[in-house]
Amino acid sequence: MLILKKIFFTFLSILLAYNAIKLSGIFLKLSPLEFSNLAIIVSAAAFNLLITGVIAFLGFVYPTSKLLPKSYYRLKNEAQLNSLYKWLGVKGFRVFLLLTFYRKKENKKYFNGTKSGIIQFDYNTRQSEFGHLMAFIFILLHSCFLLFYGHWSLFIASQIINVIFNFYPIVLQRKHRISVQRILDRV
């Protein structure tokens, strides 16, 4: 069963990557003046979803977070992270997620009170953070590339969506890791 899931999710990642490449080709073929405001917003959102999906589906079946060193996940400045969390209003984003996407109990990946549960939760936060980080970086680089073709509006829309879809989740996962790290340091 696990092998079928790996094959299926890898295939979905490839399919999403293919569609992201096709959409990127459309950006390069068309002049910035050929995009309406609605087309800019829809295209930016679609590209963000496609790229984030490529990495997320791979992260569902492979330990992608291990591509970064353990030191990356070790928090060094909690006060700075807490300030960023508060300044960006990530708590409101967290509440939004809990009321919408993580409303169903089966979607929750919370600590279940056991040692293995905290280890699994730590792994889940790393996987999620890695996926959002890679998507954030790729979308940022791609958007900068689009600037060379004069797609300023597409750049701005894409980055606003990128911050919401990817940067906020990175900050949220790092905030979770403050508590996780404290627990794991005691165990």
Q: What is the pTM of this model?
A: 0.88
Between 133 and 113, the more confident residue is 133
Distance CA 160, CA 106 (A): 30
Domain locations in the chain?
Answer: 2-186
**Where does the chain have alpha helices with state H?**
2-29, 37-61, 70-73, 78-88, 90-99, 115-147, 152-162, 168-186
Of 124, 123, 125, 136, which Cα lies nearest the Cα of 54? Answer: 136
The pLDDT tens digits of the residues spanning 62-82 come to 999 999 999 999 888 888 888
